[in-house]
Structures are given as C-alpha cells and as structure tokens.
Amino acid sequence: MLVSLILFIVIPTLLFCYWIYQKPTSLLTGFFFLYFIGSLSTLIVLALEQINQTLALLAGIVIAIPIMLFALFGIYAMIIALFWNERVLLKHERKSLANMLPLIIATGLMLFELILLFVTSKVNNTLILKLFGFLNASFIYFAMTFILFGLTAILYNLYPITYKVDYIIILGAGLNKDKVTPLLAARINRGIQLYAKQVAKYHHHPTIILSGGQGLDEEISEAQAMKNYIDQQNYQVNTIYLEDKSTNTRENLLFSERIASSNDQITGLTNKNVVIATNNYHLLRAGKLAKQLDIKARGVGAKTRLYYLPTGFIREYIGYLVMTKKKHLTVIAILFGLSLLPLLFDLILNL
C-alpha cells in the first residue's frame, strides 16, 4: 500500500505542484495534472478492489467509458460543436477571417477524416499509406497539444493571487473610435477588481500600467482610452502609468517593463510581483510571452462570452504554435522520419 501511495499520489502530486508553482505556463502543467487525476483514479479503483471487486469493476467502468467515448467520437463531436458555434458566433459578430476559424477548422477536420477513411479502405499503395500514417500521427500530436494548451490555460486562470502585487498590467484591445469595447472594458474591470482586493486585504496599492498603442482606425491610443474609462467609472487608483506605443502582446509587456523601470528607477520586472489582466482565453499566451521576457507573471482573466471562447482559444493556440514553432517542427520531423524512413531503407535494400 505504501508503494501504491508513493506511485499514485506522492509523485504525481509533487510533480504537479512543482509545475503549477514554478512553471505555470508550461504545457507540462496540464500534462502532470492529467497524470495526477489518472493516478488518483487508479488508486481509487485499487483501493476499492481490496473492499469489493464488483465495486472496483463498476468504478473502473465509470472512469473508462468517458475516456473511450472521447477517443472514439471526440473528433466528430468537435466537428459538430464547431459548426454550431460558427452559426451562433455569426449572429453576434461580423464576418471576418478570425471569426470564421470554427468553420474553417471544422471543415478541415471533416475533410481530413473523409480522406483518411477513403485512403485506409481503398488505397493499397505503401507510400501513400505511410504518408497518411504520418499525417494522422501529426494530427494526434496537435490534438494532444491543443488539449494540454486548453487545460493549462484553465489552470493558469484558476491560480489564486494570494500575495502583494507590485504591478498590474492591463493589456489593450481594439477600440470603437475613442471608446473601449465591452471586451476591453472587461479587462479593465478585472484589473481594477484585483487592485481593490489588494487594497482591502493588504492595504497595498499596486501600480497599474495601461498598455496599448493607437491602431490605424483608432482616434486615440488604447492606453488613453482605458484611462478615460477608469476616470468615467470613478475608479480610485493611486498610481497609473500609460504605455501607448505597443502594437502586440509582446510589446505590451516589454514596453510596460520599460515604463516601470523609467518611472520607478528599477532594473526591470524580473524580481517584481506582476499580474497580467486580459481575457481568460488570452491569458496563457500572455503569460508565456512574459516568461520569454524573464517576467515571472501570474494573471487574472476577464470572462468572455461563451460563444466567442472557441474562436478565442483557437486563435491563441495558433499563436502558441507560432511562438514555439521550432519545437513543433522538430517533433513533426521526427514523426516524418519514423513514418517514412523504414520505407526508404527497404527501397535502398531492394536496389
């Protein structure tokens, strides 16, 4: 029993706790969470077996059925859900390439499944079968990273802020001329909510940095529009800095660090407690960008309308793939080699 506790509870718990605390933006955080849940489930079944084998069997079936259903029908459920989401999304949002992502992904998945079914049932050419084996392996890899990305994003959003915060960086978003949009207002409100909690709990006033430059179709900078919104809402904040030059999330963080360093005579945000306020679907990638800049940041995510979440997460996942493209290209190259190199060796030997 002691060995089981170590294998199924102690080791998974230590790994998950280390990653969620030290490396919260790593996808291994999501992986070790699944490892912890899987180990705990296994231990429960083993413990029940010592009491009653029938009860253990029932528990195993209850755990196994959702996993089997997901493995067998998850892709089809996702296709249907994405088509339905696109229909709902276009009732509320204008047509654009970004807002068509659920439709594009669903159509691509459906075509891939149909082609794969045709090839595996009708094609006998070894090279083509190997090629589609490689494509299927690549698809499984990206599907697993997407699951881990989403799970890690949820965990990153749920991590509580239980300490004094030095800086709250509120990330900008598009404006409606000179006014903040509901999406940006939600980010500001989430940042102000954290500020109010800091004041109430610790009698501490973090510095708020409003970060966002001026877009081509915007009359003022996003930072200034956010400041105007805070003034209009009569939010009481001791210190606010405006960063009004950035054009993307990386620049938001980099330029905010420069503003803080200049105004407060510090050497950077590396040793400061920083919290990023943005939308929940955007929070993980913002945290990963902060880590690249050597800023150890946590985050608070503003709620997003449910119909927009799939589109938001897909966009963020694509952004994550671009950020870490070298790692993924390496994996794809390995999968390609494992799929086609044996065939190449056979061809060489038969020459």
pLDDT number for residue 128: 81
Q: Considering the entire predicted model, what is its pTM? A: 0.89
Q: The tokens of 205 are what?
A: 């006033």
Provide the 3-class DSSP secondary structure of residue 5. Answer: helix
The torsion angles phi and psi of 26, rounded to 5 degrees, stand at -75, 140
pLDDT number for residue 339: 82
Ordered structural domains, the chain, with CATH: 163-304 (3.40.50.620)
Evaluate if residue 351 carries a pLDDT over 90. no
Q: Quick: pLDDT tens for 85-140.
A: 998 888 887 787 878 889 999 999 999 889 888 888 888 877 788 888 888 899 99
Q: Quick: pLDDT tens for 36-55.
A: 998 888 888 888 888 888 88
Distance CA 325, CA 328 (A): 5
Evaluate if residue 4 carries a pLDDT over 70. no
Q: How far is CA 351 from CA 344, 345, 346, 347, 348, in A?
A: 11, 10, 9, 6, 5
Provide mean pLDDT across the span 272-292.
95
Q: Quick: pLDDT tens for 319-340.
A: 999 999 999 999 999 998 888 7
Q: How confident is the model at residue 292 (pLDDT cuts 50, 70, 90)?
A: very high
Q: Are 33 and 158 in contact (CB under 8 A)?
A: no
| Residues contacting 175, CB < 8 A, separation 6+ | 181, 184, 215, 218, 219, 220, 222, 225
